[in-house]
């Protein structure tokens, strides 16, 4: 007998709305159960984008294919990152092994902890249950020790800090990742992509494609779909020398190369590189790279417990005073003030 038995009376019921579209699904399987654990300041878009495909699947099939329970740490309503509060069904606790546990994250704070939650996730995984993370939910999975040696993802904004804290996890820039019984996504409509893959695995591609149509998605995206636009799209130019230079900068945040070496890697002279940056980005290469590193440092300050000196080094600054001055010039306050609550 599994020690993860739970009270069926307090688990979510399946919702089967009426609709015009219909897809006949013949199955003898019981409804798949999802338990969504909402962290404070979770991303509402990412949560709803994961939940609604399950509701649409039930609506199309006109039968209970999926059911869900929404939880918080104490069973009280949770306020999302946009300020909207969501009522929950119950406190987060043990669930049956067949339940998919999904941690829904959002805004990250260095002091954010949920001491009992990692243990519950570890126990569920140890007994063969599936565990997932939405948006920054992967951070809680990593704290539970479930991502070591695995492939995972979370929102691109939070990836630099995550890599500093959990270097043994293979974090990708893809929309979502499924590695065995662990599934993660970057949030937003990546949540929908991930759930559509689950629906396809349960009931076939044809049914999942119709659910995608109901979500007004022109096509389902695979795990290989990137979260972000290409560098050339972001800077609104396809100049290959400029794109190569910026990619080299992105890959060398902690150990920035000299401008001459950077130009050589881009395949041009330093003077030519300087002209390209000023023409297309209105900044010198040095200023652009410095701002990129300072933005990286700001993310580490907000999302990790690393010291200011450690963050300066991780952002390519060998002198803390130079780092502090550059940070103040860019953001209007000191690195330490960045960590003070608003």
Query: Domain ranges in the chain?
Result: 8-214, 231-338
* Average pLDDT, rounded, for the chain: 90
SS3 68: strand
- With tokens 């022109």, the residue in question is 218
Q: Residues with Cβ < 8 Å from 239, sequence gap 6 or more?
A: 232, 276, 280
> Which of the following CATH numbers is that of domain 8-214: 3.40.50.880, 1.10.1380.10, 3.40.50.800, 3.40.50.720?
3.40.50.880
Residue with structure tokens 């992967």?
138
For CA atoms 162, 87, 21, 132, give the dihedral sign.
Answer: positive
Distance in Å from the first CA to the final CA of the chain: 49
What SS3 class is residue 38? strand
Task: For residues 19 and 17, give the distance between their C-alpha atoms in angstroms, rounded to a whole number.
Answer: 7
Assess whether the region 8-214 and the region 231-338 belong to the same CATH fold: no
pLDDT average, residue stretch 269-291:
93
Q: Is the pLDDT of residue 108 over 90?
A: no
Quick one: what percent of the chain has pLDDT higher than 70? Answer: 91
Distance in angstroms (rounded) separating the CA atoms of residues 233 and 222: 21
Question: What is the model's pLDDT at position 230?
Answer: 64
The predicted structure's pLDDT at residue 342: 54
Q: What is the pTM of this model?
A: 0.82
Residue 27: which pLDDT band, with cuts at 50, 70 and 90? Answer: confident
In this structure, whether the domain defined by 231-338 belongs to CATH 1.10.10.60 is answered with: yes
pLDDT of the residue at 6: 40
């Amino acid at each position: 007998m599994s020690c993860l038995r739970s009270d069926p009376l307090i688990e979510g019921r399946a919702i089967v709305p009426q609709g015009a579209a219909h897809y006949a699904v013949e199955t003898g399987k019981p409804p798949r159960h999802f338990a969504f654990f909402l962290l404070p300041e979770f991303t509402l878009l990412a949560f709803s984008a994961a939940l609604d495909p399950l509701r649409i699947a039930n609506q199309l099939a006109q039968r209970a294919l999926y059911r869900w329970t929404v939880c918080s740490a104490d069973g009280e309503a949770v306020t999302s990152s946009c300020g909207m509060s969501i009522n929950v069904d119950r406190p987060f606790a043990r669930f049956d092994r067949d339940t998919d546990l999904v941690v829904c994250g959002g805004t990250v704070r260095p002091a954010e902890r949920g001491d009992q939650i990692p243990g519950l996730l570890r126990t569920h995984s140890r007994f063969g249950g599936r565990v997932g993370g939405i948006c920054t939910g992967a951070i809680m999975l990593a704290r539970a020790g479930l991502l070591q040696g695995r492939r995972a993802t979370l929102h691109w904004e939070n990836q630099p800090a995550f890599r500093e804290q959990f270097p043994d996890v293979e974090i990708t820039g893809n929309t979502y990742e499924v590695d065995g019984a662990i599934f993660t996504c970057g949030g937003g409509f990546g949540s929908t992509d991930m759930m559509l893959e689950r629906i396809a695995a349960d009931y076939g591609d044809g049914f999942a494609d119709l659910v995608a149509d109901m979500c007004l998605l022109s096509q389902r995206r695979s795990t290989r779909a990137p979260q972000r636009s290409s560098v050339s799209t972001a800077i609104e130019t396809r100049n290959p020398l400029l794109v190569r230079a910026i990619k080299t900068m992105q890959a060398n945040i902690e150990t920035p190369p000299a401008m001459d070496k950077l130009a050589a890697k881009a395949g041009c002279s330093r003077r030519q590189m300087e002209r390209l940056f000023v023409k297309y980005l209105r900044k010198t290469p040095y200023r652009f790279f410095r701002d990129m590193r300072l933005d990286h440092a700001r993310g580490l300050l907000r999302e990790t417990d690393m010291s200011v000196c450690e963050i300066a080094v991780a952002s390519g600054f060998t002198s803390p005073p130079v780092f502090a001055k550059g940070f103040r010039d860019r953001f209007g306050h000191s690195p330490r003030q960045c960590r003070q609550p608003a």
